[in-house]
Structure 1
């Protein structure tokens, strides 16, 4: 896997994301204050209010630059708590309609988020939820390649082939399947640059979640970060272990949102 860094990198002005590129990650929770406390302590994030049209919503900042969003679920909404990647689009309405025509479902929008941009939230034919973001003032994640920033997004689903065709049709991805008898994996690329992955897990897919996107956040030390997660009230699903991406652990926050911690090879 070759992760595509965000357009901003470590410094400099940040450019518009190419259509199809994951450009933002957002989390909807019941306890906003407790969630901010958890991620602030884990990643060093600070927070400021986001667009009021989205209800209670904050943007997480690292070194003064926006890296993720956290919003408040209505009390009567009992949805799975999960990080959701937003995929860049030049026209959210057109992308949403294409998703519908290709067998997906659009549950929210397209709607305006003030001067920030225009969004829609949908699900692919297997049920995995994703966002669509048409940038205006808010281009997306403004920092990458440092601890506390999103590093990779991966779809965990039953099998990769069918759902990969959906994303290819909607977002124009190029597919790079991994040829292996016991590993079902497809890398999605834009202009030859890997931007996301799809892993087919068959019956190994967690029954309590179903198909879902998983966000990797970069950390300096995966083992230390795992310990910190547990101390802050989160849970460790898979301890840190070395792999082709680097050293990776799978954890949840106190409300159950799953994410991975990625320590890149030095």
Structure 2
């Protein structure tokens, strides 16, 4: 990821204000707040404190005192997919929202202020994948990465990369690097020369009940142990653990069905 960084040590990397275009936060809207907090507290060791309430009850997850993610209450009259949503940093969320619309995306929520924390938009790209945009004020985003229980990567799963990559490039100014392969459609998005997110074209492998969507990867100490823990807590294994050039990875779902991946990053 690309951002301004603070100190680096045994406890991971602490972060300050992100460069625009960098994923800076992940948030989950659920039906059962208490049960979901219990699940992630057991899995990642998260603790919780109240956050801005503009969109309803909302809690920030903390790891060793550093904010790492958010969990909010889904309005009872909304029947949306329960999913982790990445927020991408912007210096002017109103202008970015206008660019989203001009490039064929949709703005579903905002722009609106979240107390003194910052200003946000929830949008979707032309393929329907939902993402957030965050203009930081008091809340800069995820406070620490690089240790178990923290976001490690965000990846868009979509039908094909070419057209949707053009959208994100136009909105956030990304540089792109494509994987040259006859049977692997993948683009890495860069900010200032550093990889910050990926777009994976999976063709007809896209779930019919979910469509295009963003996937958050969370760092864990041991992927296989995490799978055992997740299934024991009522979650599900969706894609078995396998080794990649970036580390060992598995895709899972929490008890409400929110998909995410766990990774033990390669050294």
Q: Given the two structures, how large is their TM-score scaled by the length of structure 2?
A: 0.96
| Structure-1 separation of matches of 2:187 and 2:261 | 19
| Structure-1 separation of matches of 2:232 and 2:13 | 35
- 2:248 aligns with 247
- 1:114 aligns with 115
Is the 1:240–1:249 Cα contact (8 Å) retained in structure 2?
yes
- 1:102 aligns with 103
Is the 1:160–1:184 Cα contact (8 Å) retained in structure 2?
yes
| Structure-1 separation of matches of 2:191 and 2:70 | 24
- 1:185 aligns with 186
Is the 2:110–2:120 Cα contact (8 Å) retained in structure 1?
yes
The alignment partner of 2:5 has SS state of coil
- 2:75 aligns with 74
- 2:153 aligns with 152
Gaps of 5+ in 1: none
Q: Give the CA deviation at 1:52.
A: 2.3
| Structure-2 separation of matches of 1:102 and 1:232 | 42
Bigger shift: residues 49-58 or 7-16: 7-16
Equivalences for 1:26-175 in 2 at 5 Å?
Answer: 26-175=27-176
- 1:260 aligns with 261
- 1:213 aligns with 214
Gaps of 5+ in 2: none
Q: Which has the larger strand fraction?
A: 2
| Structure-2 separation of matches of 1:6 and 1:163 | 27
The alignment partner of 2:167 has SS state of helix
1:223 equivalent to 2:221? Answer no
Q: How many residue pairs end up in the alignment?
A: 264
Is the 2:44–2:148 Cα contact (8 Å) retained in structure 1?
yes
**Residues 81-133 of structure 1, C-alpha deviations (whole Å, 9 max, x = no match):** 00000000000000000000000000000000010000000000000000000
Is the 1:5–1:145 Cα contact (8 Å) retained in structure 2?
no
Q: Give the CA deviation at 1:55.
A: 1.4
Q: Given the two structures, how large is their TM-score scaled by the length of structure 1?
A: 0.97
CA RMSD of aligned residues (A): 1.3
Q: Give the CA deviation at 1:5.
A: 7.6
Q: Give the CA deviation at 1:50.
A: 0.2
The alignment partner of 1:141 has SS state of coil
Is the 2:13–2:144 Cα contact (8 Å) retained in structure 1?
no
**Residues 58-92 of structure 1, C-alpha deviations (whole Å, 9 max, x = no match):** 00000000000000001111100000000000000
Is the 2:147–2:220 Cα contact (8 Å) retained in structure 1?
yes
| Alpha-carbon distance change, 16 to 6 in structure 1, aligned in 2, over 3 angstroms | closer
Q: Give the CA deviation at 1:265.
A: 2.1
| Structure-1 separation of matches of 2:231 and 2:156 | 25
| Alpha-carbon distance change, 265 to 14 in structure 1, aligned in 2, over 3 angstroms | closer
| Structure-1 separation of matches of 2:15 and 2:247 | 26
Q: Give the CA deviation at 1:54.
A: 2.8
Is the 1:154–1:215 Cα contact (8 Å) retained in structure 2?
yes
- 1:7 aligns with 5
The alignment partner of 1:86 has SS state of strand
Is the 1:7–1:142 Cα contact (8 Å) retained in structure 2?
no
Is the 1:6–1:143 Cα contact (8 Å) retained in structure 2?
no
| Structure-1 separation of matches of 2:132 and 2:114 | 13
